[in-house]
Amino acid sequence: MRVMGIDCGTGYTGYGVVELCRDGKLLCLTCGAVKLSARESMSARLAIIFKQLGAIIQEHRPDNVAIEDVFYALNVKSALKLGQVRGVAMLAASSAGLQVSEYSPLTIKSAVVGYGRAEKQQVQHMVTQLLNLTEIPEPPDAADALAIAICHLHTSATLERHRAAVGG
């Protein structure tokens, strides 16, 4: 199973594609961030995000897309801007026929670190360990996107086990 995590932001939008291998290991296929220039108009910026995320989806063919469901710690104006980026990211997924799963920051931290109130650095450290990387992915938005993908894979695997147990 292959999942693309997207960490939406109005400055940087991180992405990361993670594969859950048959032996249970997690493999990072790609990660990075779309940098948005404040000099561009918002509609031009959204077009760049849509194009770049679409290209990553075409190249790495994830089975699912996962994004962070965040709405606190925002004011109304920044929520509206973040929503615009989110809408375009979700559209990139649905245009490729993919489902979008949303996870709260608490769920993501719990899935990756085992502790919902973990610090950002702890999440980045665990992402690096779980994916067997030699260094912390840069920019931080890329690491966050990988954490979202890992969260989806862990959650799906747990659901599968649960279904199998109930079914058997």
Using CB under 8 A as the criterion, which residues of the chain lie in contact with its own copies when the complex forms? 41-44, 46-47, 50, 71-72, 74-77, 79-88, 90-91, 93-95, 99-100
Instruction: Please say if 68 is a catalytic residue.
Output: yes
For its own copies, the closer of residues 87 and 114 by Cβ is 87
Here the tokens at position 35 are 């940098």
Minimum CB distance to its own copies, residue 162 (Å) = 22
For its own copies, the closer of residues 56 and 118 by Cβ is 56
The one catalytic residue among 68, 102, 138, 160: 68
Integer CA distances (angstroms), 165 to 33, 64, 154, 161, in order:
39, 24, 16, 6
d(CA 62, CA 86): 18
Minimum CB distance to its own copies, residue 148 (Å) = 15
Sheet holding 12-20, edge to edge: 26-35, 12-20, 2-7, 64-68, 100-103
Which residues are the active-site residues?
A: 7, 68, 141
